Amino acid sequence: MPVGRSPKKTETLEIRLPPETKAAFMARCQGARRTASEALRDFIEQDLRTSAPRRRNLAWRVLAAALAGLAVGAVAAPSLARPSGSDAAFQRLDANHDGVLSLEEFKGH
């Protein structure tokens, strides 16, 4: 491997978090002019450099998990946008037009 190159990134990590948390993190990364993946890789590398595992409080653990999942989701997950061809079909199924297809709406068609 050439000197100065980072190892190839082949592994992914997935977590689930609230949409508000993801949006806030993505906005912060955009403001810092870096990708969510870069932010999370930096966090993980810094955490691994610590000499001994320290007991962390629950809030820190939740934040770390949320950040890791956000980066992975932003990089590895397919787009959540509906393909344009399915828009008309979705509108027909979404009876209350809230942008979400409930089980009742789906069963009703």
The one-character DSSP state at 3 is: T
Cα 56 to chain centroid distance, Å, stands at: 23
CA distance 25 to 16: 13
What gap in Å lies between CA 58 and CA 46, rounded to an integer? Answer: 19
Q: 74 is written with which tokens?
A: 């932003």
Say what the pLDDT of residue 33 is. Answer: 92
Output DSSP code: residue 7: P
Tens-level pLDDT at each residue, the chain (109 residues): 456 777 888 888 887 889 998 898 889 889 999 998 888 888 888 888 876 666 667 777 778 788 777 776 666 555 555 455 567 777 777 788 887 777 787 777 6
What is the predicted pLDDT for the residue at 73?
Answer: 67
pTM value is 0.42
